[in-house]
Structures are given as C-alpha cells and as structure tokens.
Amino acid sequence: MSTSPRRLQHKVALITGAGSGIGYAMTKLFTAHGAEVSAIAHREAGLAKLAGLENVFPIQADITKLEDINRLVDDTQSRFGNIDILCNVAGIHDFCYPLDETTDELWDMVLNTDLKAPFQVSRRVIKGMLERSSGVILNIGSLTADRGIHGPSYCAAKAGLVGMTLSIAVAYATRGIRCNAINPGPVRTQIGDYVPIQGHVEGYKRAWGIIRGMPVPQQCEPEEIALSALFLCSDDSKHINGVTLAVDGGMSAC
C-alpha cells in the first residue's frame, strides 16, 4: 500500500453529482490527494460551491441528456487530455413510493438518472481508457441494491448498477480497467432536493422503522464514503475489481 499522502497524484477524475453530498466530499478529498477533478453539477448552487476549489474544473450538465454527457466528456478531455477515473455519483431516489403508487414518470426519472446515465457516461469515458489500457470506474450504489427498503424504482436502479459494475469488471479486466461499486447506507445529504415530489408517508415510516431497528449506526457523513472511494480509485486497490463494498455501518449484515 502506498504511503504517499497524495494517492491520486497526476490522475484526472470525472465525478458526477459533485455539487453536493458524496460527490462534493469526493471532489475535495481527491484534489487533496493530487488529482485534477472535472466536477459535474446540475444546479447553480453546486457550481458556486465548486468554483473556489483548487484543481477543480466545474461543468454544469444534466446527465440524463446524451448531448450533455458528450459535452462534459469532451470538455474534460480538452482541459486535461484524458480521464483516468470516473465516479458515477449523481443520483435521486423515489421517496419510498410503493409499486401501486409508482407512476411511469417517477420510474423513468429514477432509472434514467440512477442507471441509464451511469451507463451512458461509462460507455463514453471507457473509450479513452481502452486507448490507454488503464482506468478506474467507481459506481455509487445503495444498501437498497439488495434490501427492499425503498420503492421499486430506486431498488431496481441500484441493483442494476451493481450488475453493470460486475459486467464491466469482467469484460475489461484484461484491458487494464477496473470497475467497483460502493453501497452506502443512509448518508446525510440533500438528495431529496432533486425530486419534485413529497415523500411517501407510509413508505418512509416503513423504511425508517426497519433502519432504526438495526443494532448499527443509522447514518454516516459523506466524507466517510469519500474515504472508501479514494481507496478504490487509487493504486492501493489495483487488484480489487468487480467488488461492491458495503459502507453502511453493518446494515447489510443485519
């Protein structure tokens, strides 16, 4: 394991969802460890937070639009020359709406953001990684990938993200590219600000009833997820591929 305090020196990282929460914590930590970061944010408030950070290239984009994905990758490559690390962090959830109250619009909104967008960003970025035979992709999933705590759209999207992680890891293992995932438990973020609906009262009650019944910590800070991301994106984990790391205080063991 590296003893260097700058574990991402000379690396370029592209981080979606960088304007708040886990993505913002990762952006700050990665730059502290020597990386140059293309930080993708959807809202003006996120861009404003990123503007003052050293070695950060803020880009405003809607990752559910393919033209925005192509632009943010092109702009990053024009600025830095290559992308060594891709972190698919941006996401929304479904506010615990059960199946019979999940509309097609809610399903599409969650799946397009949490699964289709990471697929499209990864597909676009991996082209350059293949040319250099080097690269790391990290997907931020959720405890709900294998626990039915949320509604069907969020659980399906995060389970699909884990499946995509495994497929990428196997397909490109001999091409110098690694792909892993982190499944956080509840994290103190403002993810709810991105969904223009009210939370489902009974759905939330059920979810938090399950969580509070677990004999483990109920929430963690975004910075704690960022530390695990740093390890998985650095050469310290160069022999780790296709892994989904639970960072949930032990919830997935309950």
CA dihedral 196, 244, 163, 60 (to 10 degrees): 40
d(Cα 254, Cα 20) in Å, to the nearest integer?
29
Domain of 228: which CATH number?
3.40.50.720
d(Cα 32, Cα 24) in Å, to the nearest integer?
13
Does residue 254 lie within any of the structural domains? no
Does residue 4 lie within any of the structural domains? no
Q: Which domain holds residue 35?
A: 12-246
- Report yes or no: 115 and 109 within 8 Å, Cβ to Cβ: no
pLDDT of residue 150: 95
The stretch 164-171 carries a mean pLDDT of 98
Of 214 and 190, the one with more pLDDT = 214
Mean pLDDT, the chain, whole residue set: 94
Q: Over the stretch 71-128, which tens digit does the pLDDT of each residue have?
A: 999 999 999 999 999 999 999 989 999 999 999 999 999 999 999 999 999 999 999 9
- Is there a catalytic annotation at residue 24? no
Considering the candidates 154, 172, 194, 204, report the single residue annotated as catalytic.
Answer: 154
Does residue 5 lie within any of the structural domains? no
Q: Over the stretch 237-246, which tens digit does the pLDDT of each residue have?
A: 999 999 999 9
With a pLDDT cut of 70, the percent of the chain lying above it is 95
CB count, 10 Å around CB of 208?
A: 14
When pLDDT is cut at 50, 70 and 90, the band that residue 2 belongs to is very low
Does residue 118 lie within any of the structural domains? yes
When pLDDT is cut at 50, 70 and 90, the band that residue 198 belongs to is confident
pLDDT of residue 195: 52
Looking at the predicted structure, is the pLDDT value of residue 194 above 90? no
Looking at the predicted structure, is the pLDDT value of residue 33 above 80? yes
Q: What is the pTM of this model?
A: 0.94
Number of domains in the chain: 1
Does residue 224 lie within any of the structural domains? yes
CB count, 10 Å around CB of 174?
A: 8
Does residue 204 lie within any of the structural domains? yes
pLDDT of residue 3: 47
Does residue 6 lie within any of the structural domains? no
Residues 6+ apart with CB under 8 A from 94: 102, 106, 110, 150, 151, 152, 153, 154, 195
Does residue 2 lie within any of the structural domains? no
Looking at the predicted structure, is the pLDDT value of residue 5 above 90? no
